Every structure is written in C-alpha cells, then in structure tokens.
Structure 1
Amino acid sequence: MNADIVIVGAGPVGLCLAHALSGAGLRITLVEKQGLDALKEPAFDGREIALTHNTVALMKRWGLWERIEDVAKSRLVNAKVFNGSSSRALQIGHELSDHRELGWLVANQLIRKAAFDVVEEECASNQIEFLTDEEVVGIENGRETIEASLASGRKLSARLLIAADSRFSLTRRMMGIGADMRDFGKSMLVCYMTHEKPHDHTAWEWFGYGQTLALLPMNPDPESGAFRSSVVVTLPGREIDRLQQADAHAFNAEIERRFAHRLGGMKLVSTRHAYPLVAVYPRQFVARRFATVGDAAVGMHPVTAHGFNFGVSSIESLANAILSAHRAGKDFADDSVLKRYESMHRRSTRPLYLMTDVVTTLYNRDNLPAKLARNFMLHVGENLPLVKHAIAAHLAGSRKENRKEVAAW
C-alpha cells in the first residue's frame, strides 16, 4: 500500500494536520491504534484545553470552531497567580491584550470530535484514508521512501512519515530519536466541579506548599446553573490515587480545604481523571523523510496551557512547508524542507520550554530561599506593566510573530 504522507496518531493534532494537508492532490493515510467508534465519539477525559486567539483563528479556518456548540466554549477573561497562603496575586487582565478575553476553554473530546468530523468528510471524498485498530511496529527508512510495518502485517510505503502519537511517541523512538524528559514525580487529577462563589471567568494558578492547584473557569453547569470550573490538582502519585478513590463527599470536602474555601462549597460533577506529569523535548524534530508534530515534538508542562497551541503551531508550520514545496514541484520530504520546519518550531518553542522548566522547578520547592524568590517574582511581576503585558500577550497568543515566521517561507 502506498501513500504520499502517513500520519501516525489520530488525536486532534494528527487529524488537524491531515485536514490542513488535504485538497492538494496528496494521498494521506492516518494510522490510529484506537477503533473507529472511539474516534467518532471520543470519551470525556477531564481535560479542558486553553486556546489562544491564534489557535482559534486556525480552528475557524479549518472548519472546526463552528462545529463546537457555543455553550461549550468558555471565555478566559483574566488570570491570577497565587503563591502559598497569601491572598495577594499576580493579576493578568484581558485589557492588557488586544482582545476582550485572553483566550477560550474547550473540552478536549469536543475538539477531537470536531476534527474527526471534518476529516471523515474528506475520507468520503477519498482525500484521506483511515486505518484504525492499527499500530506501527517497525520503520524502514530509505532514500526515496519510508516504510512502516503495521501490527496486522501490512506495510505502508510513503514519501513522508509524521509522528503525532503523544509525548511518549513510539514512532519517534523507532526512528532512534532521543528526548530530554523531565519526570516531575507527580500526577495531575482533573475534573469538573461546581462552587458557590463566582470565578468571574478568571483562571487561577496556585502554587501552594506541597501542591499546585489550577482553576479553569467554565460556563455555568447545564443542569443546576451553578458556577462551574475545571479543577486541576497536582500532587505526588500516591496522593492522587487516594483522591481518585475517595467518595464524592470526602473528595468535595478535601478540595474545598485545599482551595482554602475561597470558592465556598464545591461539588464534583464529572468523573475524575489522572495524568502523570512529564515534560518532553526531543533532540530532533525531524529525520530523513520523518517529522514530529504536537506532543510528539514538544510535550509541555501544563502550567503554560500551551501544549495544544504549540501543536497547532507545528501543524501550521509543517503544512506550509510541505504544501509550498509540493506546489513548486519539489520533494516536500527533502531534508532542507524538514530542517526549515525544525528550525522554525524550535525557535518558537524552546525558550518557553526552558523558562517553564525554571519556573516549575522554583515553584515546586518549599525551602525558605525558594519561598522568598517566589514571592519576589510575583511582586515584581505585579508591579511591572511591561512584564504583565508580555504575559498577557503570551496567554492570548500573538499573531505578529507568527506572520513573520510564515512570511519567511
């Protein structure tokens, strides 16, 4: 079986990449280990995804945004960063950006559903082929083609293979590409909760001593009309296991206590889901006739809320590179094309990845020097307008730099 491009992984990034590449006469095959039913109706996984304005603009261009009901899109108007037990916070308001909100929050499974629906329509017109319940178990890299062996015994020959199969990408490992991996030794528990006091569409990042809490403001609960948020609790794995197994009453009481009752009474209104906290940065994004996108390229610490946004950025950069070369009659999988993509994506992600590592290291230490440094950083940030404007621009997503990067092509 032959294709021009094989994409491994049909998560939202893999699906969006397939769509971005469609319509140019390229034969595209998506390989996904999940079954077709799981892709058509993605299960709730607890994750609420923060989207920048740049990401929303691309989702509109790709036809995803209108497929998500307005009631499921929550405005992220402001943000606050707390440290320890102090009630003072670094406050980032939407007025520091060029928009009425810093961004939007949408459930991960709704993004997946919208992306699948778009791609399914293109499958019907033979632009994209799906291979579900399949897994890549081997890769042979040649000069003109790259061949993927599947668990079923089938073989796929393509001009370019793209990994979009998570930060722990087996495809990337098969290509012999190592990654710098930072295991924080903790896990995140995510769920939806209602609460008595309003969130004012403000996101919280609360670096407590021995824990990190996040609050992502959502639209009111559809059943009760109560204030509702996505709650993220980061603790050592054993503590997360205990919280997952606690009954609803005990869980509610503990989360109220952990949030110092600042939201009043809190009530669990969804299932609970846990994820290990690991950041990943590969030493290469590309190899001969091979590229990585999404988390397979950069697996960010969630404190920045930029994981999916970086994934969308990688789609835009790689798709532009491939299509530009293809329209010019050139080999779109040539080393020079892929290296330009790698250079662009590294420049746009590496500084924030390194900065995030420094911040998360500092804010996860509870000794006295770290506490003093944390308080000092928040105080400086709150009192320097330029710093606050920079953070607001980062949260909202700036298209200026992106335009410069695209123009470079």
Structure 2
Amino acid sequence: MIHPLLVAATLARNRAWTIARARPSTLAMEYDVLIIGGGLNGPAQALALARGGLRCAVIDAMPVETRSADQFDGRSYALSAGTVRMLGRLGAWPADHATPIRQIKVTDGRAGEGPAPFMLHFNAAEGDDGPMGQMIEDRYLRRALLSALAAQPRIDHIAPAKVIAQAVTTSGARVTLHDGRVLHGKLLIGADGKSSGTASRAGIDRSPRPYGQMAVTCAIAHTLPHHGIAHQFFMPGGPLAILPLPDNRSSIVWSEDETRARALMAMDDAGFLAALRPAFGSFLGEITLATPRSAFPLSLSLAERFVAPRVALVGDAAHGLHPVAGQGLNAGLRDVAALTDVITAARQRGEDIGAIDVLARYQTWRRPEILALALVTDGTTKLFSNDNSMLRAARDIGLGAINALPPLRRAMMREAAGISPSLNGLPTLMG
C-alpha cells in the first residue's frame, strides 16, 4: 500500500518543481506575504496566514526531495500541547507517528552515581489537559507540512530557490531570486534560521553568546518500555535529555562541553554507548544506537529587533535558545501564531499588514516573552552545568521544594504544556 504522506509529498514536490521552473510570464508574482525559509516555521506560517485568506509564497533554498526524505536521522522534537493543537488546526499534525509525553522527571547528579535524592516530577495525570506534549520525529513533521502546503491553493511553494536580494518601499516588499525572477508582497517574513539572510539584508543584527557546549543528538533503542516518561538529567558538563519515541526508542540530546562532545563524536558506536551508559543508567534495559549521531554548538542569540519596515522574523531567525527546556521549535511556532493574530486582525481592520506600527504589535507581544524564556534557559544552564557543592545542595533542595508544592508544580506543568496565556494572551491557534 502506498502511504498517503508519500503521495502528498510527491504532489508537493511536483508542484514546487513546476513553480520553480515556470517561465516568469506564467508565474503569479504578486502575493500578500513572502516567506523566506522552507524548514518548519516557514511552512507553518504560510498555512496559518492562508487559513486567514492571505496568498503566500514560501521560498525554500532546499529541494523538496530533500525536505520529504523518509530516512530517520535522529532529529526529533518535544512539542507542547499548545503547539500540537496549533499544528492540528493547520492540518499538519501526523498524529499516528507521535508519542505522548505523560510524565517529566527532572533530576540532578553525576554520571555513574545516579540521581540526587530530590527530583521534580510532572505527571499529566494530575491535571485535566491530557499529555503535556508529544514527541515527533523530524521526518514525519516535515512531510505533514509539505502535504498541507500542497493541499492549500493560496500557497505557492517555490523550491529550490535562493533569494539574492530584497528591498522594501512604502507600499510593499520585493525579493529577487537567483534565476532573476522578482516576487512582490506587502510583507516579508524571515523564517530562514540563525544565519538569516532576511535579517541581515534588513539591517537587523544579533550577537551570539556561546555556551562552550555542544549538543550530541541521536536515537537509542532499548529493551524496556519508557511509558511516555521524559527525563532531564543534569550533570556537571550539561544536561542529558531522554525523550520517548515509538517502538521502545528514545531521542537523546546530550549537552557537554565542546572538548568532551567532540570526543564523543569521534568514538565508534561501541565507545559512544560505553560513555553514555553511566549517564543513561539501566532503567530502560539494554541500549543500542538506532540512528547516526550528530552535534551542534550551543549559544544564546537574540535579534536586536524582530521587525523592520515590511519585515518580520520568526523562529531561529529571531532567537536561538539553549535546548535545556526543549522550547526552540515551540517558541518559533508561538511566534508564528502570534504574528498570524496580529496580521489577520490588522487586515480585518483594513490596515496595511506590512506597516511598521502593525508589526510593532508583534514585537511587543513576542520579544519580552522570548527575553524571559532566554533568561530562564540561560539561568538554568548556568545553575546546573557545574559541580559546585553549595550550588548542588541548593538546587537539589529547590527541586524537592517545588515538587512538594502541588499548585506551583501544576502551574509549571501548564506552562511547559504551552497552554498558559502570557500577558498578551494565548495566540488563537494555540488556545
């Protein structure tokens, strides 16, 4: 049987191939919104805006064949309940491939010595909101987004295509592609990652602050069931996240200092597993590698502004956070939802959706929230990524104290699930 996601991905590929190669005279060049970046946030942004009646172009430098590849490379995401709700409303949630996160256990300790006696334990059974989130492999989420793009007539997915220039006027934005084509829109959205060309061309700077750590990621198979429990084990070199996947597998995100991380990447599979086992423990039985390993450097970076005249940034183009709280993609999709609320409300009032005063509402909403999240993740990383005995005692007592206060613990659960409103409210798509 041919899987429907493969059919949809093929349709998306063929449609994108046609658009990318159409002669300029046959291509509709006028849009409401131009979105640069075809990863995850860009397609989600297009789907959200198209749902509100706007015509969008998604300009993706990567071929659709690459985006829709079926091979599992170890990349997975812990998505909050609010994010899952949003993706479902956009028709881009691959529920059959998701694993519910029913509990989260946060512990402190050293590899080989086990966790400290105090821990923080979140259990979804304490509330009425269902699982706190879902784990999903990157390949399934990408293909679901491609399927949704292909099914939405208000979206053109232009791929592969590289933007070489952009310009704004008082009435609109313009981008020039590598083949000479020019696209026009009222608003330009940058969803093109930490090295965002959109931000750079708009004169928006960012100053990354390295942590001196790298995250080593992969998937692990194990002989015992995980029961939907996510673990965050803080060690002196950095945290180890063990996140549940289908079929007795777990996603690993192991943050270590750069020297140690490079050594882990240089080991053969047997050596890596031998290094992982003391930190991983034996609670899931025997472990084996299920995917190749990858690694990336960790840093904190915030764009000095999230908007410029006729330009808005979402996701990694606007901010890069430590993965300690697993909020990277969740924060990006919350950007998408908030910007959608701002734009659709402005359009209903007859305002210019690319006007700087309209975009300023998005920045006023999201930048303070991202700054607060950055402070939390940065502070947590500094507090736990050390072996200071006094700090260790204080943080262990703190974890135990929070765990002993059910109202505070439940409030933190709702925050982690992405269903707690901010000062500006919960975006419509997540509410």
Q: Same fold (TM over 0.5)?
A: yes
Question: What is the rounded CA distance, in whole Å, between the counterparts of 1:289 and 1:147 in structure 2?
Answer: 10
Change in CA separation of 1:333 and 1:389 when aligned onto 2, cut-off 3 Å? same
Aligned-pair distance for 1:288? 0.5
Counterpart of 1:166 in structure 2 is 193
Counterpart of 1:76 in structure 2 is 101
Q: In the TM superposition, what whole-angstrom CA distance separates every residue of 1:273-308 from its partner, at most 9, and x where no partner exists?
A: 222212322121111000011221232221112222
Aligned-pair distance for 1:219? 2.3
- In the alignment, structure 1 residue 106 sits paired with structure 2 residue 109: no
Question: What is the rounded CA distance, in whole Å, between the counterparts of 1:405 and 1:60 in structure 2?
Answer: 16
Change in CA separation of 1:42 and 1:3 when aligned onto 2, cut-off 3 Å? farther
Question: What is the rounded CA distance, in whole Å, between the counterparts of 2:181 and 2:55 in structure 1?
Answer: 17
Aligned-pair distance for 1:339? 0.7
Question: What is the rounded CA distance, in whole Å, between the counterparts of 1:219 and 1:37 in structure 2?
Answer: 25
Question: What is the rounded CA distance, in whole Å, between the counterparts of 1:307 and 1:84 in structure 2?
Answer: 25
- In the alignment, structure 1 residue 371 sits paired with structure 2 residue 399: no
User: Among 330, 346, 361, which residue is 2:367 paired with?
Assistant: 346
Higher deviation after alignment, 33-42 or 11-20: 33-42
Counterpart of 1:182 in structure 2 is 209
Gaps (5+ residues) in structure 1? 221-226
Counterpart of 1:134 in structure 2 is 161
8 Å CA contact retained: 2:149, 2:157: no
8 Å CA contact retained: 1:295, 1:311: yes
Letter of the 1:49 counterpart: Y
Counterpart of 2:45 in structure 1 is 17
Counterpart of 1:54 in structure 2 is 82
- In the alignment, structure 1 residue 117 sits paired with structure 2 residue 142: no
Letter of the 2:308 counterpart: A
User: Among 287, 299, 302, which residue is 1:266 paired with?
Assistant: 287
Letter of the 2:32 counterpart: D
Counterpart of 2:62 in structure 1 is 34
- Please give the secondary structure, in 1, of the residue aligned with 2:331: helix
Question: What is the rounded CA distance, in whole Å, between the counterparts of 1:73 and 1:231 in structure 2?
Answer: 16
Change in CA separation of 1:377 and 1:271 when aligned onto 2, cut-off 3 Å? same
Alignment of 1:285-304 (within 5 A): 285-304=306-325
- Please give the secondary structure, in 2, of the residue aligned with 1:177: coil
TM-score using structure 2 length: 0.85
- Please give the secondary structure, in 1, of the residue aligned with 2:31: strand
- In the alignment, structure 1 residue 64 sits paired with structure 2 residue 92: yes
User: Among 234, 238, 241, which residue is 1:214 paired with?
Assistant: 241
Change in CA separation of 1:43 and 1:260 when aligned onto 2, cut-off 3 Å? closer
8 Å CA contact retained: 2:365, 2:424: no
Counterpart of 1:145 in structure 2 is 172
User: Among 132, 135, 155, which residue is 2:182 paired with?
Assistant: 155
- How many residues align? The count is 395
Gaps (5+ residues) in structure 2? 1-28
Higher deviation after alignment, 363-372 or 208-217: 363-372
Aligned-pair distance for 1:400? 4.7
Question: What is the rounded CA distance, in whole Å, between the counterparts of 1:347 and 1:118 in structure 2?
Answer: 31
Aligned-pair distance for 1:61? 0.9
Counterpart of 1:223 in structure 2 is none
Letter of the 1:74 counterpart: T
| RMSD, aligned α-carbons | 2.2
Instruction: State the identity %.
Output: 30
8 Å CA contact retained: 2:173, 2:187: yes
Letter of the 2:300 counterpart: A
8 Å CA contact retained: 1:40, 1:117: no
TM-score using structure 1 length: 0.89
- In the alignment, structure 1 residue 191 sits paired with structure 2 residue 221: no
Aligned-pair distance for 1:399? 5.0
- Please give the secondary structure, in 2, of the residue aligned with 1:3: coil
8 Å CA contact retained: 2:245, 2:251: yes
Change in CA separation of 1:9 and 1:143 when aligned onto 2, cut-off 3 Å? same
Change in CA separation of 1:42 and 1:132 when aligned onto 2, cut-off 3 Å? farther
Aligned-pair distance for 1:383? 2.4
Change in CA separation of 1:265 and 1:347 when aligned onto 2, cut-off 3 Å? same
Aligned-pair distance for 1:334? 1.3
Change in CA separation of 1:322 and 1:90 when aligned onto 2, cut-off 3 Å? same
Letter of the 2:67 counterpart: L
- Please give the secondary structure, in 2, of the residue aligned with 1:83: strand
Letter of the 2:233 counterpart: W
